[in-house]
Chains A and B, each alone.
Chain A
Amino acid sequence: MDLVLAKAMPEDKANAERAADNVFAAARGRLPGVGRIADIRARAFEAYERVGLPHRRVEEWKYTDLRVLMRDVLLLADTPDASALRRAQAAVQQAAFKGAIKLVLVDGVFVPSLSDVAKLGKGVIVRTLREVLESSASDAMAGLVLSTTADAMISLNTAMATDGVVVTITEGTALRRPLHVIHVATASAASHFTRSYLHLDDRAQGTVLESFVAAESAGGYQANNVKIVLVGNQAGLSHLRVRADAPDAANISSEIIAVGSRAKLNLFDMARGGAVSRYQDFITLAGKEAELSMNGVNLLMEKQHADTTLVVDHAAPHCVSRQNFRAVADGAGRSVFQGRIIARPDAQKTDAKMTMRVLLLSDQAEADNKPELEIFADDVNCSHGATSGGLDESLLFYLGARGLSENDAQALLIRAFLGEAIEGIANDNLRDFATAQTDHWLKARR
Chain B
Amino acid sequence: MPLLEVRNLHVCVEGREILHGLDLTVNAGEAHAIMGPNGSGKSTLGHVITGKPGYQVTAGQILFKGEDLLALAPDQRAAKGIFLAFQYPVEIPGVTTMNFLRTALNAQRKARGQSGYSTPHFLKKARTVAKQLNIPQSMLKRGVNVGFSGGEKKRNEILQMALFEPSMCILDEIDSGLDIDALRIVAEGINAMRSQDRSMIMITHYQRLLNYVVPDVVNVMSKGRVVKSGDKQLALELEASGYAQFENAA
Are A393 and B53 in contact, CB atoms less than 8 angstroms apart? yes
In the assembled complex, which residues on chain A have CB atoms less than 8 Å from the CB atom of B160? 402
In the assembled complex, which residues on chain A have CB atoms less than 8 Å from the CB atom of B86? 398, 401
Tell me if A35 is interfacial: C-beta within 8 Å of chain B. no
With A401-B75, A402-B104, A404-B104 known, 4 other A-B pairs at CB within 8 A are A395-B92, A400-B75, A402-B78, A420-B94
Q: Which of B105-113, B129-137, B188-196, B216-224 contacts A (4 or more CB under 8 A)?
A: B105-113
Closest B residue by C-beta to A414 = B94
Most buried by B among A399, A402, A416: A402
Closest 10 CB pairs of A and B: A416-B94, A400-B74, A403-B108, A402-B104, A403-B78, A403-B107, A398-B90, A419-B94, A416-B95, A403-B104
- Total A-B pairs, Cβ < 8 A: 74
Tell me if B242 is interfacial: C-beta within 8 Å of chain A. no
Are B92 and A401 in contact, CB atoms less than 8 angstroms apart? no
Closest A residue by C-beta to B90 = A398
In the assembled complex, which residues on chain B have CB atoms less than 8 Å from the CB atom of A416? 92-95
Given A393-B53, A408-B107, A416-B95, CB of A401 within 8 Å of CB of B78:
yes
In the assembled complex, which residues on chain A have CB atoms less than 8 Å from the CB atom of B111? 403
Are A397 and B104 in contact, CB atoms less than 8 angstroms apart? no
With an 8 Å Cβ cutoff, the count of chain A residues facing the other chain is 23
Complex: A405 Cα to B104 Cα, angstroms: 10
Shortest Cβ distance from residue A272 to the other chain B in the assembled complex, whole angstroms: 19
Complex: A399 Cα to B145 Cα, angstroms: 13
26 pairs across A/B with beta carbons < 8 Å? A393-B53, A394-B90, A395-B90, A398-B86, A400-B51, A400-B73, A401-B52, A401-B78, A402-B78, A402-B100, A402-B104, A402-B108, A403-B104, A403-B107, A403-B164, A404-B75, A404-B107, A405-B107, A408-B75, A408-B103, A409-B75, A412-B100, A412-B103, A413-B95, A415-B95, A416-B95
In the assembled complex, which residues on chain B have CB atoms less than 8 Å from the CB atom of A403? 75, 78-79, 104-105, 107-108, 111, 164
Are A401 and B74 in contact, CB atoms less than 8 angstroms apart? yes
Are A406 and B53 in contact, CB atoms less than 8 angstroms apart? no
Interface residues of B in 73-103 (CB under 8 A from A): 73-75, 77-79, 83-84, 86, 89-90, 92-95, 100, 103
With an 8 Å Cβ cutoff, the count of chain B residues facing the other chain is 29
Complex: A419 Cα to B92 Cα, angstroms: 13
Most buried by B among A393, A403, A416, A417: A403
Complex: A270 Cα to B56 Cα, angstroms: 42
Tell me if B50 is interfacial: C-beta within 8 Å of chain A. yes
Residue-wise interface mask of A (289-309) relative to B, using a CB-CB cutoff of 8 A (1 in contact, 0 not): 000000000000000000000
Partner of A399, one of B54, B79, B104: B104
Complex: A356 Cα to B86 Cα, angstroms: 32
In the assembled complex, which residues on chain A have CB atoms less than 8 Å from the CB atom of B108? 402-403
Most buried by B among A395, A412, A413: A412
In the assembled complex, which residues on chain B have CB atoms less than 8 Å from the CB atom of A394? 90
Complex: A133 Cα to B94 Cα, angstroms: 49
Complex: A408 Cα to B74 Cα, angstroms: 13
Closest B residue by C-beta to A400 = B74
